[in-house]
């Protein structure tokens, strides 16, 4: 038995037209040619698909089965062709991106500018915020997120491994001593980032299978990571900062990493997006580009 997608398409069209003569007129062929095509399909499957008279026709039981599968096959082929076109199309169109302020300024803005130079038909709008914004409600195509992602129905691709560090300046540690266990932080001046009031002042550490929660306090806090970093550099307390933000300060000695035997919560970097399938070429290419360019970021040294 030999069948082709064109046979399926013809049969679907014939059923929609309602008669061989009407289908022949719409396809600009003779009724005899249309009838011959139907007979050829029936011969190939070995059964009658349509009961027909001079003026009418109706589906047989086998005809209903054939029509159902013909629709499924042609829909699958259409979906495949659509996906292949999207995979091969040149990147063009608008991309709206949401990213955190600090990392967005330092890296994402640079990556976006370089991507645009290589893909001049793409337009990018970069929106930086101190809190992750709802992608769907705000019509964003991509969001850059750190750490464990909530189950929000979004799809995600990890674009870099990443850590957070507890650190302080040598001057602070010289004056106040270096904590050797997370619980000792409760007697230190800790600079806290106010981005999530639910976790404000609660620092979580883990070592092997042990988890330690510490309630910290201090006389400085901010919702701005850059301010927190500047205070730590001035010797005004202990802070938790992203590796990308303190890499060079640790390297030149202006900050020291402490409690490095303990792990902080996951801070891997993800590109998240609301597309479940058929990811547009421009979005796919930009995410690929981000993943490649993340290799230049210091913590991927």
Side-chain half-sphere CA neighbours of 146 within 13 A: 19
Higher pLDDT, 201 or 91: 201
Residues 6+ apart with CB under 8 A from 112: 97, 124, 126
Taking residues 108-131, what's their average pLDDT? 91
| Rounded distance between C-alpha atoms, residue 124 and residue 94, angstroms | 6
Higher pLDDT, 209 or 85: 209
Taking residues 86-115, what's their average pLDDT? 84
| pLDDT given for residue 104 in this prediction | 92
pLDDT band (50, 70, 90) for residue 190: very high
Over 50: is that where the pLDDT of 161 sits?
yes
Over 90: is that where the pLDDT of 99 sits?
yes
Quick one: which of 139, 142, 104, 151 has its CA closest to 272?
Answer: 142
Query: Which H, E and C letters describe 71-83, residue by residue?
Result: HHHHHHHHHHHHH
Instruction: Note whether 224 and 279 are within 8 A (CB).
Output: no
What's the start-to-end Cα distance of the chain, in Å? 60
| pLDDT given for residue 301 in this prediction | 41
Pairing of strands 269-273, 142-146: antiparallel
User: Can you tell me whether residue 119 is helix, strand or coil?
Assistant: coil
Express each pLDDT in 4-54 by its tens digit: 778 888 888 888 888 888 888 877 888 888 889 889 888 888 899 988 765
Instruction: Note whether 137 and 106 are within 8 A (CB).
Output: no
Over 50: is that where the pLDDT of 89 sits?
yes
Q: Where are the beta strands (DSSP E) in the chain?
A: 50-52, 57-59, 93-100, 122-129, 142-146, 155-160, 164-168, 190-193, 202-207, 210-215, 221-222, 238-242, 256-258, 269-273
Instruction: Note whether 214 and 179 are within 8 A (CB).
Output: no
69-103 residues labelled b (16+ CB within 10 A) or e (exposed): ebeebbeeeeeeeeeeeeeeeebeeebbbbbbebb
Supply the angle between the helices 5-17 and 61-88 in degrees, to the nearest 10. Answer: 120
Over 50: is that where the pLDDT of 300 sits?
no
């Amino acid at each position: 038995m030999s069948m082709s997608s064109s046979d399926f398409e013809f049969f679907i069209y014939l059923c929609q037209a309602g008669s061989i003569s009407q289908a022949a007129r719409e396809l600009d062929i003779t009724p005899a040619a249309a009838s011959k095509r139907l007979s050829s399909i029936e011969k190939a499957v070995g059964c009658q698909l349509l009961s027909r008279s001079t003026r009418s026709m109706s589906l047989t039981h086998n005809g209903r089965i054939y029509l159902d599968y013909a629709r499924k096959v042609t829909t699958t082929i259409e979906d495949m062709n659509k996906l292949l076109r999207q995979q091969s199309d040149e990147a063009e169109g608008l991309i709206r991106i949401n990213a955190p302020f600090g990392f967005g300024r330092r890296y994402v803005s640079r990556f976006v500018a370089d991507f645009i130079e290589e893909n001049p038909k793409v337009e990018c709008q970069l929106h930086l915020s101190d809190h992750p914004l709802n992608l769907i409600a705000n019509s964003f195509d991509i969001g850059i997120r750190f750490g464990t992602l909530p189950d929000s129905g979004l799809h995600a691709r990890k674009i870099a491994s990443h850590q957070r560090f507890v650190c302080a300046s040598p001057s602070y540690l010289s004056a106040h001593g270096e904590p050797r266990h997370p619980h000792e932080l409760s007697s230190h001046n800790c600079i806290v980032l106010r981005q999530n009031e639910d976790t404000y002042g609660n620092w979580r550490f883990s070592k092997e299978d042990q988890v330690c929660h510490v309630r910290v306090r201090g006389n400085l806090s901010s919702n701005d990571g850059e301010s927190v970093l500047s205070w730590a550099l001035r010797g005004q307390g202990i802070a938790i900062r992203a590796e990308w933000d303190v890499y060079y300060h640790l390297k030149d000695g202006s900050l020291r990493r402490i409690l490095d035997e303990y792990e902080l919560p996951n801070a891997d970097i993800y590109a998240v997006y609301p597309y479940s399938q058929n990811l547009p070429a421009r979005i796919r290419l930009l995410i690929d580009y981000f993943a490649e360019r993340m290799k230049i970021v210091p913590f991927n040294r």
